[in-house]
Amino acid sequence: MTADVHRVAAEALEAITAAQDPAALDAVRTRYLGRGDGELTGYRRGLGKITDPDARRQMGQMVNELVERVTDALDERQRTIERAARARSIEAETLDLTRPAPPLRRGRLSPVTLAAREIRRIFGQLGFETVEGPEVEYDRYNFTLVNQPPGHPARDSQDTFYIDDSRLLRTHTSPVQIRSMLIRGAPQRVIVPGKTYRRDHDATHMPMFHQVEALCIDEGIAVSDLKGTLEFFARSFFGANSALQWRPHHFPFTEPSLELELACVVCRGSGCSVCKYSGWLELLGSGMVHPQVLRNGGVDPDRYSGFAFGMGIERAAMLAWGIPDMRLLYDNDVRFLVPEAASEGPAERPAP
């Protein structure tokens, strides 16, 4: 029996040395030290068959020593396997600082950013200075001073994000025109790009969108100056051969008021769902600044006159690149991230 115990212990030690991973080591532990049928621990159950007390005591002591030796060997082998696994993991995670870095991808800009930059560039050539104003605006500047008194439909809470009774998220950048007149007086030429907010969400409207407005005030400014300036802009932005048309309209802050329309970029004027089968798409609203608005800005309408316009930058980008749905601009579709080309206008860039 003694020889058998030593043989089993030797086999266990050899199996432990041969184990290369935790699973193999657990199998060795179960085979030789299992509580129920372990090959080595099983000898403890046979001690009761030894009638000689001294022999039984000596046999029990020997079995316990061999079990302890095998247990220690299992624990040591487990630590060795774990150290080897950690070393492999560290080696795999080590950064080789001598390896060449991956090539850098060229940065890209969205059509909205490109359109905004191009608009600022074109009007900058015409001497317009860029000004900014607060996005959280007072009701007085946003509505009252631009001829939208209490009760005007534009003030409806279904269209406007009100913060309290006197403040709101601006619905257009027109309040900055009032602020600019109060600060700069006349003459002046400014454009006002920025974010605006309205309760609207469909294929051609978003609750937050970018708008640019312009204001030109001087002595002798006429409708011909308005039309010449905006036609120059439109053909610079969309291409020299762009088909344009003017329509009379009404805005409370201009008189007379005009809309500038561009031939539909999707159907090329033949009629489609995008242009509502009219063949034309609204580009911007404009007009001669209402005399009362000039007075509200501290400008004498008997001496000065001026024109203004407002345009959605997203709409300009949609028309420039033939994008049918404004929501596509904010869906993180990488196909709409066109390469930056500072020297080219939208009319010369390929569609995204």
- Predicted confidence at residue 157, as pLDDT, reads 64
Peptide bond into 301 cis (omega under 30): no
Biggest CA pair distance of the chain: 131
C-beta atoms surrounding 181 within 10 Å: 25
Beta-carbon contacts of residue 341 (< 8 Å; ≥ 6 apart): 349
3-state secondary structure 14-30: HHHHHCCCHHHHHHHHH
Alpha carbons 127 and 18: distance in angstroms, whole number: 84
Low-confidence ranges of the chain (pLDDT < 50): 340-343, 350-352
Beta-carbon contacts of residue 236 (< 8 Å; ≥ 6 apart): 122, 345, 347
The DSSP secondary-structure symbol of 105 reads P
- Predicted confidence at residue 338, as pLDDT, reads 52
Q: Which residues of 295-328 are buried (b: 16+ CB within 10 A; e: fewer)?
A: ebbebebeebbbbbbbbbbbbbbbbbbebeebeb
Contact predicate 13/6, CB 8 Å? no
Q: Residue 116 — φ and ψ, nearest 5°?
A: -60, -40
- Predicted confidence at residue 202, as pLDDT, reads 62
Alpha carbons 65 and 43: distance in angstroms, whole number: 12
Alpha carbons 63 and 54: distance in angstroms, whole number: 14
What tens digit of pLDDT does each residue of 310-330 get?
A: 999 988 988 888 777 778 888
Q: Provide the token pair at 221.
A: 């400014």
- Predicted confidence at residue 341, as pLDDT, reads 44
- Predicted confidence at residue 350, as pLDDT, reads 44
| Bridge partners for 218 per DSSP | 305
- Predicted confidence at residue 215, as pLDDT, reads 95
**What's the pTM value of the predicted model, to 2 decimals?**
0.64
- Predicted confidence at residue 337, as pLDDT, reads 62
Place of tokens 């115990």: 5
- Predicted confidence at residue 345, as pLDDT, reads 52
Place of tokens 């500047």: 141
The DSSP secondary-structure symbol of 286 reads E
Rounded to the nearest 10°, the torsion over CA 153, 157, 161, 163 is 120
Q: Provide the token pair at 246.
A: 């003017």
Place of tokens 């900055």: 176
Rounded to the nearest 10°, the torsion over CA 22, 24, 26, 27 is 170
- Predicted confidence at residue 342, as pLDDT, reads 40
Q: Which sign does the torsion angle of CA 169, 172, 175, 177 carry? A: positive
Pairing of β 108-109 and β 280-289: unpaired
C-beta atoms surrounding 143 within 10 Å: 24
